Amino acid sequence: MKIYDAIVQAKTENRKLLAILLDPDKIVWENLGYLIQKIYQSPATHIFIGGSHVQNNILDELIVRLKQKGDLPIVLFPGNPSQISDNADAILFLSLISGRNPDYLIKHQVEAAPILKKTQLEIISTGYILIESGSETAVARVSNTKPLDRNNPDYAEHTAQAGEMLGHKLIYLEAGSGAKKAVPLEMIKKVSDNIEIPLIVGGGIIDLRGIQKAHEAGADLVVIGTAFENDAEFFENHNYTSKIINRHSEI
Ligand code: 1GP
């Protein structure tokens, strides 16, 4: 089954999904074996890979190592068109629809198109919406865009709806990696209640309760990056009760 179809099916069945985000630039390579072991022992259903300055050779090696040890779907979450590896299973083909910078709305996508045409990657068009999170995040700085007001869920809803009408297959509400404040739960609920396509939420979620709350508010897939990066035992010794799909199932 295609990765996107499986996400839609999980949404239909109200099975919640969880992605661990790996930034190859931040990985301590000596510890990679241990890190991979912890990923496959965790409740994660997907592995996302992305970062700001990733080199392709590092990306390829990381994916090969991950695939040697397990079979979670590996989804590229690229910061720019150089971060494409045919070894992955899919790519979130992002358009930063909260921003007004044409480079991140369409220019990078035009550059990536001929590269993607040569790969077997499943391409998942994603409306990417950056939400203000208490201080400037790397994604706001690099993209040179202004995040949406975190106190205006209506505007986030309309932005997500426009993304859906434009044909995006996923909406990603992003507070930014290492954000001080995660996406407000009220905003997650408002957006989730008013779009049909699956909703990804990430940025600034630091504990299992935060994952669970985002799921309960309506996120179909939650992304956890920094917290796992800082502590590979993040998922251990916690009583996580949200309905995360078992990683050994068909996804
Ligand atoms: C960033 O949403 C992801 O793009 C994850 O953010 O690193 O804060 O978990 P964190």
Encode pLDDT of 163-187 as tens digits. 999 999 999 999 999 999 999 999 9
Residue 198, pLDDT > 60, answer yes
Q: How far is the CA of 2 from the centre of ligand 1 (A)?
A: 24
**From the alpha carbon of 227, which atom of ligand 1 is closest?**
9
Residue 235, pLDDT > 90, answer yes
Residue 124, pLDDT > 90, answer yes
**CA–CA dist 106, 41 (Å, integer):** 38
* ipTM greater than cut 0.90: yes
pTM, two decimals, is: 0.94
pLDDT band at 240 (very low <50, low <70, confident <90, very high): low
CB-based contacts of 181: which residues, under 8 Å, 6+ apart?
133, 134, 150, 175, 204
Compute the mean pLDDT over every residue in the chain, rounded to the nearest whole number.
93
Ligand 1 pocket residue status of 223, Cβ below 6 Å: yes
